[in-house]
A and B are shown apart, each in its own frame.
Chain A
Amino acid sequence: MKNVYLLVRNAIVLVCMAMPAFVWGQAATLSGIITDPLGQTLPGVTVLLDGTGQGTISDIDGSYTLAFDNAGTYTISYTYIGFIKMTQTITLTSGQNMKKDLQLEEDALLLETAVVVGYGTVKSKDLTGAITNIGVKDFQTGAVTTPEQLIVGKVSGVQITSNSGMPGSGSRIRIRGGTSLNASNDPLIVIDGVPIDNNGISGSGNALSLINPDDIENITILKDASAAAIYGSRAANGVIIVTTKKGFADKKLHINFSTTNSFATVTKMVDVLTADELREVINANGTATQQALLGDENTDWQSELFRLGIVTDNDITFSGGIKNLPYRLNLEYMQEQGVLDRSQLNRMGASLSLNPTYFNGKLKTEGNGKIYHTDNFFADQGSIGTAITFDPTQQIYDAASIYGGYYEWQNAGGLFSLAPKNPLGLLNQRDDESNVNRFIGNLKFDLELFKDFHGVINGGVDISRSNGTIVVPEEAASSYANGGVNNQYEQSKNNKLLETYFNYKKDLNKIKSRIDFTAGYSYQNWFRQEPAFASLNFAGDTITPAGIPGETENTLISFYGRVNYNLNQKYLLTATLREDGSSRFSPENRWGLFPSLAVAWLVSDEKFMSKSKMYLKFRAGYGVTGQQEIFNDYPYIANYDSSTSTAQYQFGDVFYYLLRPDGYDPNIKWEETTSYNVGIDFGFAGDKISGSLDFYKKTTDDLLATIPIPAGTNFTNQILTNVGSMENTGVEANINVIAINKKDMGLEFGINGTINKNEITNLTKVEDPNSPGILVGGIAGGIGNTIQVQSVGYASNTFYAYEQVYDESGNPIEGEYVDQNNDSIINADDLIFGENPTPDFYAGFYASFRYKKWTAGFSLRGEFGNHIYNNIASTRGVYQNIPPASYMQNLTSDYLESNFQTYQILSDYYIESASFVRMDNISVGYDFGSVFKGNAALSVSAIVQNVFVISPYSGLDPEIAGGIDNSIYPRPRIFSISANLKL
């Protein structure tokens, strides 16, 4: 009967975890002060009663108190990041108030830290792959509104390029170069065990932009395949594992309030002719018709668009334990008013984490829920590009204008449709708003079934609902012909995860071995739905009827296993195997096997090195990963596509819609990337100097590329298929130096660098020296022009242009190109392969300094050997940009350099070096220590972000993902004040 009672009770406990299993009294206490080797008190040390999840954290003065409801013998552990975990066994008698002061030993290399590696954790020292783990302490500071910005420039082999200065615009992340041509090159991102959907959410800038960086405890990056292969078919571009902050059972309520308030300013605008310069140029060179169009005003259109941006980001976190239920609750309110007038992002978030433990630590449960609501106002970014060329001799407002009072170009028929529209009209007459709700949550049970044998079940969801509206009034020039715009959109996403795995750890002391075995099963399903809406004008009349609604879904089922074998604490081996089945491929090609093997040797633990006090580890790994993110859930299925109402064909008096078979490859399957990595980790001079060095080679086969197929064999000319291979080879290194570590002063700096070389090694079935490859990299100017090529023997997206001829004084000669094949004709056969947009070398440098209660730091980042095609100059720095009649346009100042009269769109004159060094961040902080009579701790800091950029590039910003510079939302310089108050 009692058993039944227990079962029922336990079941209830499982269902509603909030129910505590123990009740604390207070029979005895343990208290003390924790210090570091320099004698400084350590606040924030986690003091845990082993196996229970109950405990406390040390106060601002390093003191802690633990209360016990029963006398007895207890094992207490003390952990703090950067220090070696200390475990103490104590015996308390009833009513005893034991004092225990202790000093923690430093673990500068974090060798004892448990690192999350996917379906488990591994002690840092035992890692065999190329894995970087970054914690809160090393995160970037300041107005960091999206998570990936926390680690910019901090990790070798990882290149993060923010898309623009737009609020929430997110970033492009590349780990050790891109491995694919047409499939995704984004890494897999896993938050608390739930791989999130990398594809954007409608009405939001970026998938990660919804996550509050303040919730993040730790980011682990699996760079090589031996580490990433456990994630199989999605891991070819590396894996980023995000672990969020958790609560733990402390009776005391901890409240942490932090606020960051920032101003953002635009530091640079595109260099264009002033009104006077334009008048001078036109009066000297223009026709009478053109001269007559000039006005008398002096309008700086770009300046009119921008404002002082304001960001406020406020977080309040409650953590502690209700009875023995550990919790952490974070509430966030962030508002970012971008530097482009009207652009705004508001985010409200709540995240709750509960992680109680039952049955004397045998059942660990963890529940995480994060709910975010964002409101976006997308200011019309088209206004930025228009402002570059809108005629500066004209006024902004025109009292007589019927277009909402904005000056617009008109001809006899009314609005001149070919002319650009007033940039301020574009900006102010378009209300493009969205709101997004997203919930990411998981529930995890970890049950110790037998000794050292755990069963883990993790279920997660990533659900979002978004909708948006775009409203443009009838009088707005941009949509005047249609009578304005009144459109809406909606999207729902439901992504589910359910997985089970078992883990068995065993010390086999007889053979000095330890094994750690994991095997599991995972099911994931991604579902997206987008209803179709008609596009309407402002009055609600249909302009284009609703199309076909969108609904798409894919499923991934996986089996995986891993063995970690540790011999004599010195020889380490990790082997993994994963089998993935994806609904994206036909049953014949559905399943893929992804193995990996890695070994490591802790050389410094060998006897012959025992005197050196050095840390040295050799690593070598091999792994196969895949890629199946091809932006289409049904690529192998023959599909007939129905045409829209504007694409019908007339027979007699009837218009028939069209049914078209889409081109497809029924045999499509995943790409496979085989990687090799060798590396060393080291630490010497008492671990004051530490670092790692890695060499890698990644070969992608069955490359998913859109290539021309033999004409006549499919329903289109190019299809996405598996063809060819690509290689990335590289070296990456990082060194961290603790130069000074004294009680009142510390200085630490780090440097990391990566060399990566990318080359397409095969792309076609037949070799033909006349074929340059596949033209990519569409550019503005003319129609359908491209500036890049995918070609065997070259890096992906290599520039492909004419070689400009220059005169003796170094000025380009208009229209003259080098006749590469000497046939006296300049045609497509004279285009040459040039540089490419990815850097040959990129590096980060950061330093931090503390003196008494002051801290200071900065981080610098550079990329070298990357090139940009300056599409702004090539289309707007040419005299031909001045229309012959009807309206006037401005030129960029590059015209004064090149003096080009007609477009030279494919000239390599416009391919410029975009190497740069950017100071991402400089900060100074002061720690007030305890305030309010010791009841709170306060620290403040001042931060400047995007301090300066040094680059030979003539355009606005040398950091352009993809290497083609069209107008972007400028990245502002941001000045912030942060304060953190702990109660």
Chain B
Amino acid sequence: MKNKLIFSAMLLALVSITTPSCFNDLDLEPAYGLNSIAVYENPDNYIHVLAKIYAGLAISGNQGPAGNPDILGIDEGFSQYVRVLWNLQEISTDAIKCAWNDPGIPELNKMQWSSTNSFVNAMYYRIYFQIPLSNEFLREASDDKMTERGFSEADKALIRGYSSEVRFLRALSYYHAMDLFGNVPFVTEENELGANAPQRILRADLFNYVESELKAIESEIPSVNEYGRTTKAAVQTLLARIYLNAEVYTGTARYADCATYCSKVINDGGYSLEPVYDHLFMADNHNSNEIIFPVTFDGMFTQTFGGTTFLTHSTIGGEAMSAIDSSYFGVQFGWAGNRSTPQYAANFPDTDDSRNMFFLDGQTLEFTEDAQLGQFVVGWPVAKWRNITSTGAVGSDATGNYVDTDFPMFRLADVYLMYAECAARGAGDVGLGLGYVNVLRERAYGDASNNAASITPESVLAERARELQLEGYRRTDLIRFGLFTGGEYLWAFKGGSFAGASVPEYLNLYPIPSSDVVANPNLIQNPGY
């Protein structure tokens, strides 16, 4: 009996030790890192979220160049925003054929993409990475929330300014969605995160939304801002761009509105042409006063395998080029991927046009068989993007891997040419338009001896091919002129074969990725896919 008492006492003691009030231990939080409440309580954090939304255009994740990706399911470098936008806008056209055999690339070259194409998916999900991020920022930057958090008036004003920039960035991504995919999911700051699947918006309705957003912030955004951030002219340039292509998006042409907004940028924007064309694509192009909206890169601090790192590496390579001293390109070697077609090269009749940057040593220029799609030594490589400053210094990354050069998403020359095209279409002053074209030609040739005497929409398109080569405009331009699909204009590998073939019209829109058609019952696949 005594023993039993002892045992009972011991057991009780032990049980009371082992049954502690440890249910609280189920409420654990990360030791490092921030939750959303902590982030937005401090007004100083907002600029870092703003920077992330800008950086969404430049880098692929939170660990440069790769390692902590923003989107999953595709290689970070392959899927970087500017890179994949450029791929969809250039590789699908006469401007670029890529020699790589990575799944998805031959299909872009041949206009044979499907709704599971990895580049189509990457572009779509990059866009829909930017948009919810922007929406979250706008929710957390509402006046109510800022007041609730007791922010000073000065902080509030600053953050309201950020909000306008966020709305610009969101409109920019919606513009890309409208241009590439047409009828897409639509979410704004009104839609709670993770809630129901978004509704589908028609392309024309999205046009109205983008237009109204840009007009709403036009007066909010300052004319002059820190380099890298949005200016009023950037907002106006984007408006000009949607008006230029409005007929494609809505069925109604808006060339006059385009001309109006081009004039605002040209006359009041405070931008001026870079005197030397080459310098626009070099490592110190942040000094240029021509770039209206850059996506900034840095070899040390903004590292990616996309962006200008991709543009510089991928357009050089091959036998002859690998022998070039790397001090010319500022990178160690080429990736031997992208080169142009003879059809596109025909836009460059003159070798004394400084925009003619074809690098032809060791290259065979004509495509004569289908297998040559995969051979970089056939075709017209373009040595346009470089990691060397205008004074000849190599970019900041000593290993020569990551490039400093910024990507000019918008620049003044494009605005000149948009105005000229509108004028040639009868929606602006033809003399002014011709003058804008000739300013660019004079810069290209060094003097006025090659100036044009007149302009037509087609001549402006050819001028755009020269001036804006490899800058991500080509597909949109060809669609506006009805040349992207159909059989009127053929180029190497259009439709599959080296000789080129007509392709159906439905290819003017990329497909909605099948993964989202599966995930979101509100979506309808674009016709033809």
Contacts and interface: CB of A to CB of B under 8 A. Distances in A.
Contacts of A582: 26
Nearest to B376: A884
Contacts of B515: 708, 771, 774
Contacts of B104: 828
B116 A772 contact: yes
Given A652-B227, A827-B114, A457 B18 contact: yes
B78 interface: yes
A656 B51 contact: yes
A76 to B, nearest CB: 25
A711 B11 contact: no
A713 B30 contact: no
B395 interface: no
B298 interface: yes
Interface string A938-981: 00000000000000000000000000000000000000000000
Contacts of B318: 884
Contacts of A7: 6
Interface string A542-586: 000000111111110100000000000000000000000111000
A74 B193 CA distance: 74
A642 B104 CA distance: 32
Nearest to A415: B332
A715 interface: yes
Contacts of B39: 640, 659
A362 B8 CA distance: 12
A103 B227 CA distance: 94
Contacts of A416: 333
B102 A710 contact: no
A658 B48 contact: yes
Contacts of B45: 659
B32 A902 contact: no
Given A417-B332, A712-B128, A449 B62 contact: no
A481 B30 contact: no
Nearest to B60: A647
A590 interface: yes
Contacts of B118: 784
- Which of B8, B45, B194, B323 has the most C-beta atoms of chain A within 10 angstroms of its own C-beta? B194
Contacts of B302: 646-650, 655
B343 interface: no
B154 interface: no
- Among B6, B47, B75, B116, the most chain A Cβ lie within 10 Å of the Cβ of B116
A284 interface: no
B152 interface: no
A810 interface: no
B416 interface: no
A815 B369 CA distance: 14
Given A449-B11, A905-B103, A583 B35 contact: no
Given A709-B519, A716-B129, A782-B102, A583 B62 contact: no
Interface stretch (B63-71, B237-245, B426-434, B447-455): B63-71
Interface residues of A, number: 114
Nearest to A883: B322
Contacts of A600: none
Contacts of A504: none
A500 B48 contact: no
Nearest to A647: B64
A14 B11 CA distance: 12
A523 B26 CA distance: 10
Given A650-B298, A906-B103, A713 B194 contact: yes
Contacts of A40: none
Contact of B71 (A652, A716, A885): A716
A447 B8 CA distance: 10
A770 interface: yes
Nearest to A664: B194
A646 B29 contact: no
Interface string B293-333: 00010101111000000000000001100110110000011
A631 interface: no
Given A552-B30, A717-B125, A783 B64 contact: no
A707 B22 CA distance: 35
A768 B72 CA distance: 21
Contact of A583 (B27, B63, B303, B322): B27
Interface in B27-69: 27-36, 38-39, 45, 47-49, 51-52, 54-55, 58-59, 61-65, 68
Interface string A672-716: 000000000000000000000000000000000011111111111
B187 A713 contact: yes
B52 A658 contact: yes
A647 B14 CA distance: 53
B332 A413 contact: yes
A267 interface: no
How many interface residues does chain B have, given as a range?
35 or more
A639 interface: yes
Nearest to B49: A659
A289 B322 CA distance: 12
Contacts of A64: none
Interface string A402-419: 000000000111001110
Contacts of B228: 649-652
A644 B62 contact: yes
B133 A661 contact: yes
B264 interface: no
B117 A555 contact: no
B267 interface: no
B269 interface: no
A413 B325 contact: yes
A499 B17 CA distance: 10
Contact of B518 (A659, A708, A783): A708
B377 interface: yes
B194 A666 contact: yes
Interface stretch (A87-95, A141-149, A726-734, A759-767): A759-767
B1 to A, nearest CB: 11
B301 A648 contact: yes
Contacts of B301: 645-646, 648, 650, 655
Contacts of B300: 646
B103 A785 contact: yes
Contact of B103 (A650, A709, A828): A828
Contacts of B391: none
A359 interface: yes
Contacts of A735: none
A450 B35 CA distance: 52
Contacts of B499: none
A619 B226 CA distance: 75
B63 A765 contact: no
Most buried by B among A640, A642, A764, A771: A640
Closest 8 CB pairs of A and B: A784-B75, A646-B64, A652-B226, A711-B128, A647-B64, A551-B31, A782-B102, A710-B520
Interface of A: 3, 6-7, 10, 14, 287, 289, 359, 362-363, 411-413, 416-418, 445, 447-450, 455, 457, 459, 481-482, 498-500, 521, 523, 525, 548-555, 557, 581-583, 587, 590, 633-634, 637-653, 655-661, 665-666, 706-718, 764-768, 770-772, 774-775, 782-785, 815, 825-829, 884-886, 902-903, 905-906
13 contacts: A412-B325, A413-B326, A581-B26, A633-B28, A646-B301, A651-B51, A652-B226, A656-B47, A707-B519, A709-B519, A716-B72, A772-B514, A828-B103
Given A523-B25, A710-B519, A784-B118, 11 more contacts: A362-B7, A412-B325, A418-B333, A457-B15, A633-B30, A642-B34, A646-B64, A647-B302, A648-B64, A710-B197, A771-B515
Interface of B: 2-4, 6-8, 10-11, 14-15, 18-20, 22-23, 25-36, 38-39, 45, 47-49, 51-52, 54-55, 58-59, 61-65, 68, 70-75, 77-79, 100-104, 107, 110, 112-118, 124-125, 128-129, 131-133, 136, 185-187, 191, 193-195, 197-198, 226-229, 296, 298, 300-303, 318-319, 322-323, 325-326, 332-333, 336, 371, 374, 376-377, 398-400, 496, 513-521, 525, 529
